[in-house]
């Protein structure tokens, strides 16, 4: 099998220090979280920006400050910025950090209920516009899919030439309003993508490590981090993002998977041609 690419989603837009004090907000906290995750084995840092009070933001200046701080402490890591932002943000707001020409960014591939009255809106025209903006900026895409219809949307747009292969999917499972994270859900999505596509799995909450194990044993890649899961085990809060990465590394070792460096991750993901 190929080496395992571990992505660490270090903060997100919704989790708070009230839920887990280890959730980073400030530039210094985010840089330290990225450093710890990278040293533990993460090749990719999935990045949302937060203001010092925890408010999510897509402001270019804030992203620039955070990226510069991360680069100062772990210069080789792949920084994958989020264009998801937070619920209620406009297309223009969400695309702001692409002005920095990051190495990689997420592309959300469908609309989703997020619980209560919250709807994470990604219309077909949104997806096309985001794909075009990322391509024009030379940014590698990770295709975030929360359910099967999102995968189908990617395949339709790829057939029309609007999303250019090679394709790298991220199955985000266990979100309220999306597919759950049972093994059947993983296998359904895994079998729905082209044979030459790559994928990573992000299990939300209690699904984080059960799905990580399925992906690792299948030859896929994984995402962990405090954005997705606040606990290292049932009832025990994680002390850091690095602790969650270390647990993924331990699972990989049980299955005989070596951990990819950032340089190896770039090669595996064909990032030089992924536009």
- Residue 1 has a pLDDT of 87
Mean pLDDT score of the chain? 96
Which position has the token pair 């708070």? 16
Structure confidence at residue 275 as a pLDDT band (50, 70, 90): very low
Burial classification of residue 245, based on how many CB atoms lie within 10 Å of its CB (0-12 exposed, 13-18 middle, 19 or more buried): buried
By C-alpha distance, which of 263, 252, 198 is closest to 224? 252
Residue 165 has pLDDT above 90, yes or no: no
Residue 128 has pLDDT above 70, yes or no: yes
Residue 273 has pLDDT above 60, yes or no: no
**Which tokens belong to 107?**
């592309």
Structure confidence at residue 166 as a pLDDT band (50, 70, 90): confident
Spell out the domains of the chain, with CATH numbers in brackets.
6-268 (3.20.20.70)
Structure confidence at residue 95 as a pLDDT band (50, 70, 90): very high
Bridge partners (DSSP) of residue 78 are 44
The tens digit of pLDDT for each residue in 175-213 reads 999 999 999 999 999 999 999 999 999 999 999 999 999
C-alpha span between 176 and 152 (Å, rounded): 20
- Residue 114 has a pLDDT of 87
Q: Tell me what the mean pLDDT of segment 36-53 comes to.
A: 98
The tens digit of pLDDT for each residue in 8-40 reads 999 999 999 999 999 999 999 999 999 999 999
- Residue 173 has a pLDDT of 98
C-alpha span between 27 and 6 (Å, rounded): 22
Report strand pairing: 119-120 vs 112-113. Answer: antiparallel
Q: Terminus-to-terminus CA distance in the chain, angstroms?
A: 25
Q: Tell me what the mean pLDDT of segment 217-223 comes to.
A: 98
C-alpha span between 86 and 54 (Å, rounded): 12
State pTM to two decimals: 0.96
Q: What are phi and psi of 233, to 5 degrees?
A: -155, 175
- Residue 274 has a pLDDT of 41
- Residue 5 has a pLDDT of 98
The tens digit of pLDDT for each residue in 109-125 reads 999 998 889 999 999 99
């Amino acid at each position: 099998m190929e080496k395992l690419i571990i992505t660490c989603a270090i903060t997100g837009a919704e989790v708070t220090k009230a839920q887990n004090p280890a959730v980073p907000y400030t530039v210094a906290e985010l840089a330290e979280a990225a450093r710890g995750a990278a040293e533990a084995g993460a090749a990719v840092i999935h990045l949302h920006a937060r203001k010092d009070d925890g408010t999510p933001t897509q402001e270019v200046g804030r992203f620039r400050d955070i990226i510069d701080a991360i680069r100062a402490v772990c210069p080789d890591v792949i920084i994958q910025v989020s264009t998801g932002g937070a619920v209620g943000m406009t297309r223009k707001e969400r695309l702001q950090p692409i002005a920095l020409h990051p190495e990689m960014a997420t592309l959300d591939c469908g609309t989703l209920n997020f619980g209560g009255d919250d709807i994470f809106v990604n219309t077909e025209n949104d997806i096309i516009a985001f794909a075009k903006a990322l391509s024009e900026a030379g940014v590698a895409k990770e295709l975030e899919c929360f359910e099967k219809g999102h995968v189908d949307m990617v395949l339709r747009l790829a057939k029309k030439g609007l999303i250019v292969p090679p394709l790298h999917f991220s199955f985000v499972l266990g979100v309220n309003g999306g597919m759950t994270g049972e093994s059947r859900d993983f296998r359904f999505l895994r079998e729905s993508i082209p044979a030459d596509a790559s994928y990573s799995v992000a299990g939300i909450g209690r699904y984080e490590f059960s799905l990580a194990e399925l992906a690792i044993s299948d030859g896929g890649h994984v995402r962990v981090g405090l954005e997705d899961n606040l606990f290292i085990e049932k009832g025990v809060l994680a002390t850091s993002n690095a602790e969650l990465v270390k647990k993924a590394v331990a699972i990989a070792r049980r299955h005989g998977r070596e951990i990819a460096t950032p340089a190896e991750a770039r090669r595996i993901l064909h990032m030089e041609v992924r536009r």
